[in-house]
Structure 1
Amino acid sequence: MIRPAKPSDEPAIRECAISAYQQYVAVIGRKPAPMSADFAAQISAGHIHVATDDDDRPFGFVVFYPDDDTTMMLENIAVTPAQNGRGIGKRLMAVCEETARQQGFSRVRLYTNEKMSANLSIYPHLGYVETDRRTEDGFKRVYFEKTLSA
């Protein structure tokens, strides 16, 4: 099940982010930004949806919000390593894309670190096109966009 996050989900969301992104610390040379995000504020703002197990415990999440009049920003998506390969990330992305469509946005934008090579190959398979590469906050980021059909 995928639902909006609630304040009590914050510890599980943080644990999920740490477990999902820990593998990149050595590659990037520091903690990826999602490992230190203010999840409590993002939950309060209504920006997080969680994937939950049968006992309603989160094991994956997606963070998204309006970026401008036409674009939904998908800021973060993570699934615990134990749940990888089951299509949960794709379902979380679909929630972002469907919400964007329902709210009248015509595209979704996201970014990933250039060292996260698996993401660089996954996003194009999901219809995202690379649009930019730049350094922000000391991270080398690769931006992608997807135009949404009506």
Structure 2
Amino acid sequence: MTMEAEIRLAGPADLAAVEEIVGAAYTPWIEIIGMRPMPLEGDYAALIEAGHVFVAGPAPARALIVLIPEDERLLVDNVAVRPELHGQGVGRRLLAFAEDRARALGKPGTRLITNERMTTNIALYERLGYRETGRELINGRSVVHMAKDLETPGGNG
């Protein structure tokens, strides 16, 4: 399956697919990190209603990204891709979308939080230009904070 389909704002009709994608993407991590990953605890109905969830692929959605504007940056709260699509560049495309969205909102960068045991994800983020900005314990989970500064037109940022 190709992900040439547009990335669009999720609506209430996408809720079941969003919850299914999050479950499929994060349930395998439970054994690795020893507890449920934070995205499994999300209230996706509320996030969709607030306009924070974007989905990719024709209905039903194949992947999603949750973007929450903050004062300084755009928070990439969650990126989830159906497992059968891993390795096809879908996550990269969603993260590129987040960067475009941050620029459109006038934000100088994006940030995210991931579990320290999700080393494959951390490696991907680093390859995409994210850098570690700190670590902490949140609700019993050891997390890594990462950020990416975006280039601005005409600037060197």
CA distance in 2, matches of 1:47, 1:17: 15
CA distance in 2, matches of 1:24, 1:8: 27
Aligned to 2:109: 107
Structure 1 stretches of 5 or more lacking a match?
none
CA distance in 2, matches of 1:96, 1:104: 12
1:66 paired with 2:69, answer yes
Aligned-partner residue type, residue 111 of structure 1: I
Higher strand share: 1
Deviations 1:35-89 (A, max 9, x none): 1210000001110100113xx2101000011121x21111100001011111111
CA distance in 1, matches of 2:141, 2:65: 20
Q: How does 1:1-150 map to 2 (within 5 A)?
A: 1=5, 2-53=7-58, 56-68=59-71, 70-150=72-152
Cα RMSD, aligned residues only: 0.9
Aligned-partner residue type, residue 121 of structure 2: N
CA distance in 2, matches of 1:13, 1:76: 11
Structure 2 stretches of 5 or more lacking a match?
153-157
How many pairs were matched up?
147
CA distance in 2, matches of 1:122, 1:88: 12
SS in 1 for 2:62: strand
For normalisation by structure 1, the TM-score amounts to 0.95
Aligned-partner residue type, residue 111 of structure 2: R
Aligned-partner residue type, residue 120 of structure 2: A
SS in 2 for 1:58: coil
SS in 2 for 1:149: coil
For normalisation by structure 2, the TM-score amounts to 0.91
CA distance in 2, matches of 1:65, 1:98: 14
Aligned-partner residue type, residue 30 of structure 1: M
